[in-house]
C-alpha cells in the first residue's frame, strides 16, 4: 500500500509549496522586484574577489589636485577648463609617445580663444585616426556639436563618442552601454580605435555590459596632466596603450559611486578606463542567460519542499541553510570565473520553499501529535502521555515491540441481566460510572488502558513505557478495583435506588507480549498481543463460580521482588491452551463471592 493518507496530504502540500516558491522567485525576477538588493550583492562579489591586477593597456592622464598645484606654482593658467592649447600639447606628447588611442574625456563643444581652438584642431589632425572626443549631447541621429559638428571631425580623422555614464536605479555605475542614438560609447570608440576592429554589438545583449572593475578608485595607472603637459615622462608609459585624458579631481565633480568604490567615489575617466579594459580583454565578465537564472530559481524553490517528504522540520531547515551556503559559494565562484548569476531571486525561492516546508511539517506534525496525544491520553496516565508521544516513530505510531509485561482483564459479573431491566440511557450511566472507577485505579497504578469491551476492561502494565515493577503495579490496580473501587461503585448504585450489589472477575498474567499500534489509516489503536494476553483473559473468565474475584498467574508472582504476605495459592488449575496445570494465586483479603465454589476451572 503506497503511503498513508496523511503522507499523501503532506506530499500534496509540499508540492504546492514548491510551486509557490518557484513562482514567487520567477515573478520577482521578471519584475525586478528586488533589483537594488541584487545589485548590492554584485558589489559584495567584487569586494570578496578583491583588487585585481591593474589593466596594462589603459592609462589615465589625470587632471588631479597635483596638476592644479603644479600649474599654479609654474605661473601657468590653473583655472579649469584649461586653455585648449594645453590639451593640444598633451595630444602631441601622447602621439609622439606611441599611444594607440587618445581619448579626451573633456568638453570641446563651445568655441573659446581662436588660437587655442586652432591649436587643438591642428593637434587632433596630427594624431589622425587616434583621437576620440567625448560628447555629452547627442541628437537623435547620433550627431554632436563637438568642434562644431561631424564634418570637421571627419576631416581630422577623429570621432566623437557618447560619454554619459549608465547609472543603475540606486545611482551606482556598474555597466556601460554600446551606443546612444547610434553614437558609440566612449569605451566602444576607444577600443575600436586602439584595435582597428569593430566591437560586436551582439555582445551587448541588454544594450549594456557589466564593467569588470579592476579594483577600488585609483587602481588604474594615472599620470598627472601637468607632467604630460611638460613632457616629463617616459614614453614607455603610453607606448601602444589607450590613454584617457580627463578630470579626476573631486572639485570638478566628475566622480560617481561604482560597484567597487564602497562609500567613496570613482572619477569618470577611471570608470571609462575600466570599461575600455573590459572590452580589450574580450569581456571577461558577463551575465548568464536569463534561462539559467530561471532554472536556478526553480531548482532552489523545489529543492527543500520535495526533498523534505521524509524529513522533520529541523532537518528541512538545515537542508535549506546548507543549500543557501552552497549556492552563495557557487555564485561567488561563478563570478570569479566571469559569470554573473542572479543571487537574490534563487535565494528568495529557497527561503519561501524552506519556510513553507517548515510550516507544512510543523503544522502537520503538530496537528498529528495533538491527535495522537488525545488518542494516547485515553489509555495511559496523564503524566506519561508526553513520554509516550515522544517515543512514537516518524509516523507518530508506537512501533511493535516485544516486551515483558503484565496484562489485566476484568469483567463485571451479572451486568447483562441487571441492564435488561433498565432503560438504555440509565444503562450507559451505570456503565460509565463503573468504568470511570476502574479506569482511575488502572491509570493510578501506571497502567495502560487498552480497551473497553462493554463492561469488560483490558489493560497492560509495562508498555508502551517500560516498568520494571509492572507485576506489582498490576496487582495494586487489581486489588484496588475489586476492593475500594468496587465498594464505591456499589455504594453509588445504592444511592441511586438499586439494591443490586455487583461482584467482579479479574485475571492478571505476566510474560512476553507484542505491543504496538494496529489498525487502518482511518483508525489506529494500541494493543498487546500474544499468549500472555490470552492467558490473562482466560484467568479472568475462570473466576466465575470460583469463589474468588482475582486470579493471579504464577508468572506474575515470580516477577514480584517482594510478593505480598496475603498472596495465597488457589491451586494448580488447568487453563485452556496449556498442556499442564499451572499454579494460580489470589489475595486472602479479597471478598469472596456468595455461594463460593469452584465447579469447573475451565469455565470460559
Using a pLDDT cut of 70, give the percent of the chain over it: 88
Please state the length of the chain.
Answer: 604
* 194-208, 309-323, 381-395: segment of lowest average pLDDT: 381-395
Rounded mean pLDDT, 109-134: 95
**What's the mean per-residue pLDDT of the chain?**
89
CATH number for region 394-587: 3.30.70.1230
Indicate the range of 44-48, 154-158, 258-262 predicted with least confidence: 154-158
pLDDT confidence of residue 315 = 78
- Per-residue HEC secondary structure of 466-502 comes to CCCCHHHHHHHHHHHHHHHHHHHHHHHHHHCCCCCCC
Instruction: Taking residues 79-96, report their average pLDDT.
Output: 96
User: Residue 550 forms beta bridges with which residues?
Assistant: 506
pLDDT of 311 over the 80 cut: no
Question: Is this model's pTM higher than 0.75 or not?
Answer: no
Greater confidence, 466 or 517? Answer: 466
Amino acid 376: pLDDT:
61
Cell numbers that stand for 501 in this block: 450489589
Exposed, middle or buried by CB within 10 Å (0-12, 13-18, 19+), for 471?
A: buried
Predicted local distance difference test score (pLDDT) of residue 8: 80
Residue 546 CA to chain centroid, in angstroms?
68
pLDDT of residue 377: 61
In this predicted structure, the answer to whether residue 196 has a pLDDT above a threshold of 50 is yes
Instruction: Please give the pLDDT value at position 368.
Output: 65
Grid cell, residue 192, equals 575600436
**Tens of pLDDT, residues 561-602:** 989 989 999 999 988 877 788 899 999 865 444 433 333 333
Position 175 scores a pLDDT of: 97
| All residues at 6 or more sequence positions from 46 whose CB lies less than 8 Å from its CB, including other chains | 213, 259, 260
| All residues at 6 or more sequence positions from 288 whose CB lies less than 8 Å from its CB, including other chains | 334, 339, 340, 341, 342
- Looking at 12-21, 374-383, 440-449, which range is the least confident one? 374-383
Res. 519 pLDDT band, cuts 50 70 90: low
Tell me what pLDDT residue 585 has: 95
Domain ranges of the chain: 5-33+288-373, 58-285, 394-587
- For the record, the C-alpha cell of 49 comes out as 574577489
In the numeric block, the cell 514567487 is attached to 24
Rounded CA separation 82/76 (Å): 10
Q: How many CB atoms lie within 10 A of CB 593?
A: 18
Contacts of 34 (CB under 8 A, 6+ apart): 28, 344, 345, 348
Extract the runs of DSSP E, i.e. beta strands, from 413-566: 448-453, 456-461, 504-519, 524-529, 550-553
Does residue 360 have a pLDDT over 90? no
> Alpha-carbon distance 225 to 231, whole Å?
10
Query: Residue 313 to residues 5, 25, 310, 349, 351: CA-CA distances in angstroms?
Result: 19, 22, 10, 18, 14
> What's the pLDDT score for residue 290?
94
Helix or strand holding residue 322 (H, E): helix 313-336
Amino acid at each position: 500500500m503506497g503511503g498513508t493518507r496523511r503522507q499523501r496530504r503532506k506530499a500534496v502540500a509540499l508540492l504546492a509549496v514548491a510551486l509557490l516558491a518557484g513562482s514567487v522567485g520567477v515573478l520577482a525576477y521578471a519584475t525586478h522586484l528586488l533589483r537594488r538588493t541584487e545589485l548590492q550583492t554584485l558589489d559584495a562579489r567584487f569586494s570578496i574577489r578583491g583588487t585585481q591586477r591593474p589593466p596594462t593597456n589603459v592609462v589615465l592622464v589625470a587632471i588631479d589636485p597635483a596638476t592644479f598645484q603644479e600649474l599654479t606654482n609654474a605661473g601657468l593658467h590653473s583655472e579649469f577648463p584649461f586653455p585648449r592649447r594645453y590639451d593640444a600639447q598633451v595630444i602631441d606628447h601622447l602621439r609622439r609617445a606611441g599611444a594607440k588611442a587618445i581619448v579626451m574625456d573633456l568638453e570641446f563643444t563651445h568655441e573659446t580663444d581662436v588660437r587655442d581652438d586652432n591649436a587643438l584642431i591642428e593637434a587632433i589632425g596630427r594624431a589622425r585616426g587616434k583621437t576620440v572626443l567625448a560628447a555629452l549631447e547627442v541628437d537623435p541621429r547620433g550627431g554632436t556639436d563637438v568642434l562644431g559638428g561631424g564634418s570637421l571631425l571627419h576631416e581630422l580623422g577623429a570621432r566623437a563618442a557618447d560619454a554619459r555614464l549608465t547609472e543603475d536605479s540606486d545611482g551606482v555605475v556598474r555597466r556601460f552601454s554600446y551606443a546612444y542614438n547610434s553614437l558609440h560609447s566612449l569605451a566602444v570608440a576607444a577600443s575600436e580605435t586602439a584595435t582597428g576592429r569593430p566591437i560586436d554589438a551582439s555582445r551587448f545583449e541588454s544594450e549594456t555590459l557589466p564593467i569588470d572593475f579592476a579594483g577600488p578608485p585609483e587602481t588604474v595607472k594615472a599620470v598627472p596632466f601637468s607632467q604630460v603637459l611638460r613632457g616629463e615622462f617616459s614614453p614607455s608609459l603610453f607606448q601602444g596603450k589607450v590613454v584617457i585624458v580627463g578630470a579626476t579631481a573631486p572639485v570638478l565633480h566628475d566622480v560617481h559611486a561604482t560597484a567597487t568604490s564602497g562609500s567613496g567615489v570613482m572619477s569618470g575617466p577611471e570608470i571609462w578606463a575600466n570599461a575600455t579594459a573590459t572590452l580589450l580583454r574580450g569581456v571577461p565578465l558577463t551575465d548568464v542567460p536569463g534561462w539559467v537564472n530561471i532554472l536556478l530559481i526553480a531548482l532552489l524553490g523545489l529543492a527543500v519542499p520535495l526533498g523534505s517528504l521524509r524529513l522533520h522540520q529541523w532537518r528541512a531547515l538545515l537542508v535549506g541553510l546548507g543549500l543557501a551556503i552552497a549556492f552563495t559559494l557557487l555564485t561567488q565562484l561563478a563570478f570569479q570565473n566571469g559569470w554573473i548569476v542572479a543571487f537574490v531571486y534563487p535565494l528568495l525561492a529557497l527561503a519561501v520553499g524552506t519556510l513553507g516546508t517548515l510550516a507544512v511539517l510543523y503544522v502537520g506534525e503538530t496537528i498529528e501529535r495533538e491527535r495522537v496525544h488525545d488518542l494516547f491520553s485515553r489509555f495511559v496516565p496523564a503524566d506519561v502521555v508526553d513520554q509516550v508521544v515522544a517515543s512514537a516513530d516518524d509516523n507518530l505510531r508506537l512501533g511493535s515491540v516485544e516486551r515483558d509485561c503484565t496484562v489485566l482483564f476484568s469483567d463485571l459479573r451479572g451486568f447483562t441481566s441487571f441492564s435488561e431491566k433498565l432503560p438504555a440511557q440509565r444503562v450507559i450511566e451505570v456503565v460509565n460510572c463503573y468504568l470511570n472507577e476502574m479506569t482511575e485505579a488502572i491509570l493510578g497504578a501506571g497502567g495502560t488502558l487498552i480497551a473497553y469491551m462493554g463492561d469488560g476492561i483490558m489493560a497492560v502494565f509495562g508498555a508502551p513505557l517500560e516498568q520494571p515493577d509492572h507485576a506489582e503495579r498490576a496487582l495494586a490496580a487489581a486489588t484496588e478495583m475489586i476492593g475500594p473501587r468496587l465498594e464505591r461503585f456499589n455504594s453509588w448504585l445504592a444511592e441511586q435506588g438499586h439494591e443490586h450489589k455487583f461482584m467482579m472477575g479479574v485475571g492478571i498474567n505476566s510474560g512476553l507480549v507484542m505491543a504496538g499500534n494496529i489498525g487502518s489509516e482511518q483508525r489506529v489503536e494500541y494493543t498487546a498481543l500474544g499468549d500472555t494476553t490470552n492467558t490473562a483473559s482466560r484467568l479472568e473468565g475462570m473466576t466465575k463460580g470460583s469463589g474468588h474475584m482475582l486470579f493471579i498467574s504464577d508468572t506474575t508472582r515470580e516477577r514480584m521482588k517482594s510478593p505480598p504476605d496475603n498472596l495465597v495459592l488457589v491451586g494448580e488449575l488447568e487453563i485452556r491452551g496449556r498442556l499442564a496445570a499451572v499454579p494460580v494465586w489470589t489475595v486472602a483479603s479479597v471478598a469472596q463471592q456468595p455461594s463460593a465454589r469452584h465447579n469447573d476451572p475451565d469455565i470460559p
